Every structure is written in C-alpha cells, then in structure tokens.
Amino acid sequence: MSIGGALREAFDQDPRGGSALAVVKDGQVVVDLREGWRDSARTVPWDADTLVNVYSVGKPVIALAVLMLVERGRVGLDDPIARHWPSFKTEASVRQALTHTAGLPAFPVPRPAESWAEWDVLCADLAAASPEWPPGTVAAEHALTYGHLLGELVRRVDGRSPARFVAEEIAGPFGADLAFGLGPADRARCAELEFDAPDWPERNAGEPGSVKERAVGNPAGARDLAVVNGELWRSATVPAVNMHATALGVARFYDELMRRRVGAMMATGQFTGVDRFIGGDPLTWGLGVQLEADGTWGMGGLGGNAGWADPGRGLAVAYVTRRLGDFATVDRIEAALNSSTDRSDIRF
C-alpha cells in the first residue's frame, strides 16, 4: 500500500465528526482529507474553509514571529526579555522563553475568562511575576503563558500586534490559512469544539497542586466549551492556545518552514530532559517545537491536534479535529507514515 493509502486508512478508521488531515510536499498538496461537520448539531459539513481551534499547535507560529525578529537582528536569543520589555522582572532570556524554561508556566493572578480579551492586563501580570524556578534550569511547557511572553516581545520590538504580525509576515506570505484574533468573517467559518466524553476537562486538568493544574486553569475558560466556542475567545489573541486554522494551513506552515533557514534554527535542540508540565519520558525542546528521535519536529495541541515537519521525506503533516479527545488518530497517522521501510516512497 502506498503511504497515501495508508494515511487514508488511518484517517478513516475513527471518524471524529469533524476533522481534517493534510500533507504537503515541496509546496504541493499530496493529501487533503476531511470528514464530518462544522457544528455540534451536525448540519454544516466540514469543508476546505473550516477553521478550528488547534490549541498548542499555534505555539510554533508565535515562536516563528520572534525568530523572524532574531533573523533581522532586532532581537538576540540571549537578550534578557527586560531589554525589550523594561517592566519585566524575571531575569529570563528570549531563548528561555522560546524553550519553555523561563520559569513562568502559569499566570500568577487569578483571572476570569473575560480576561482573555485583556492583553495588557495579562502581560502586566507576567511582567510582575516571580519565576517558579531559576530560568534555564527547568522545562515546563508554558501552556497558556507562552503566547503572551512571546507576543508581547513582538509587539514591543516591532510595534505591530502579534495577530497582525502573524497575518502579515507568516500567514499571508506562507499561503497558510491560520490566524489569531479572528474577525467576523473568519469567526463565521469556525468549527464548534466538543468533548469526546463529559469528563474530558477533568481528565486534562492535572493532579491537584501540580504545575499542569495551575498552568491550564487560569485564566478560566480554556477548556470550557461555552468560552472556546464563543465570540470573545475567537476574537481574542491568545497565541499559546487559540490559533484557528485549517489542516492545510498548518501543513503549509511547516512546508514553508522546511524551505527557510529559520526552520533549521527552530529545529535545533536546546533542552533535553523531563518537562514538568508534560511529564513522562525526557523530551527535547527546540526553539518553539518538540524534536523527535526520528528527525521529525513540530507541536501537538490539546485534544488531539498536531502539526509537524518530516524532513527525511520532505513532508509537512497536519491533523486537526473539533472533537477534543486523545492522540490515537495522530498515532495512526505517524504509524502509516512509518509503514514504508523506503523513506523515498512518497507515492500518494
């Protein structure tokens, strides 16, 4: 079976009631699959223009925004964040923010869901915060804080909002259908998220008192369907977790990255060890992406979304879903890609 056939089989095995898989090679779309509906009532079919909240799959996008400024000589990887953000108290570097080692994995001040629309408030909270560990010593995915740390750097150095920078410097030039801070037209094509089971928020809350519990719970609402399916969330800019994209948009992002020098920069290992947010086995962080032992690199997103680059085959892969569950489909997709012993086998 060709890789393309294996991928279709992996995608079709467990329909999610709204999901998509895309693979791009050298700018050419070689797989573009979708199934299900855009809405929970199952009345609007999922189509090529359907956007969905992909959670942490958006983190590499805001990381790239910072790395573009590094390439242009406007920011240094080892610059103290405070050099560009004078009110920032933690003695962390830009590199440490990019690699989830800045020691600020959780917003320090309890805030309601409405605060997702208050960029300056949340950035002020981070600026005044004390790190939980000396920066550079511990990795803990900055689940909700990552986008504000990096996005505020972009705003202070470049002058544009992070949403506008991404639109003008990344989404547009890359031909990638992805965005933060959606306008009315884009909000109208968003898929409604739903849980695979009623206990999904509890299953993904973390142990009481853990880094994960604190990191994902404040501000409120990031795992609340009433919030994430609402206008406030979709129109806000939360670069750590609220990028809305098509599968093809995410795949085009990685395809373009692999053909740019900044992609190699992003995929350079920076920290290897146990991540206190993710737990489990040691992992390796690059500058905004996770690096895998097989040479692939990218980022998964809460609920089963993922996007990654496979440089060995020259493939950019993305899977997105509106049904928040596990990563079983992504695991099957990876297995299908690895089912060929000949890495030159790219027949679709």
Six-digit token string for 8 = 């279709």
Question: What's the full length of the chain, in residues?
Answer: 348
CATH code of 265's domain: 3.40.710.10
344 lies in a domain? no
User: What's the mean pLDDT when you consider all of the chain?
Assistant: 95
The pLDDT of residue 341 is 47
For the chain, what is the domain count?
Answer: 1
Question: Which of the two residues, 211 and 340, has the higher pLDDT score?
Answer: 211
Residue 304, domain member (yes or no): yes
Residue of 8, 15, 56 whose CA lies nearest to 35: 15
Q: Is residue 78 part of a domain?
A: yes
Q: Let me know if residue 156 belongs to a domain.
A: yes
d(C-alpha 297, C-alpha 331), whole Å: 15
CA 257/CA 234 separation, integer angstroms: 26
221 is in which domain, residue-wise? 3-337
Asked if residues 95 and 83 have their Cβ atoms less than 8 Å apart, the reply is: no
Q: Which tens digit of pLDDT belongs to each residue from 73-97?
A: 999 999 999 999 999 999 999 999 9
Residue 1 pLDDT exceeds 70: no
- Give domain status of residue 155, yes or no: yes
Is the pLDDT score of 269 beyond 90? yes
Q: Which residues contact 38 (CB under 8 A, 6 or more apart)?
A: 18, 44, 45, 46, 47, 50, 189, 190, 191, 192, 322
> For residue 73, how many other CB atoms are within 10 A of its CB?
7
Name residues whose C-beta falls within 8 Å of residue 67's C-beta, 6 or more positions apart in sequence.
Answer: 98, 262, 265, 266, 287, 288
| Max avg pLDDT among 5-9, 209-213, 247-251 | 247-251
The answer to the question of residue 243 being in a domain is: yes
Half-sphere exposure of 333 (CA within 13 A, CB side): 25
3-state DSSP call for residue 330? helix
> pLDDT per residue over 151-191, tens digit each?
999 999 999 999 999 999 999 999 999 999 999 999 999 99
pLDDT at 347 over 80: no
pLDDT band (50, 70, 90) for residue 342: very low
Q: What is the pLDDT of residue 345?
A: 53
Predicted model pTM: 0.96
The whole-number average pLDDT for the span 14-33 is 95
Structural domain contains residue 345: no
Residue 73 sits at φ, ψ, to 5 deg, of: 80, 15
Residue 348 located in a structural domain = no
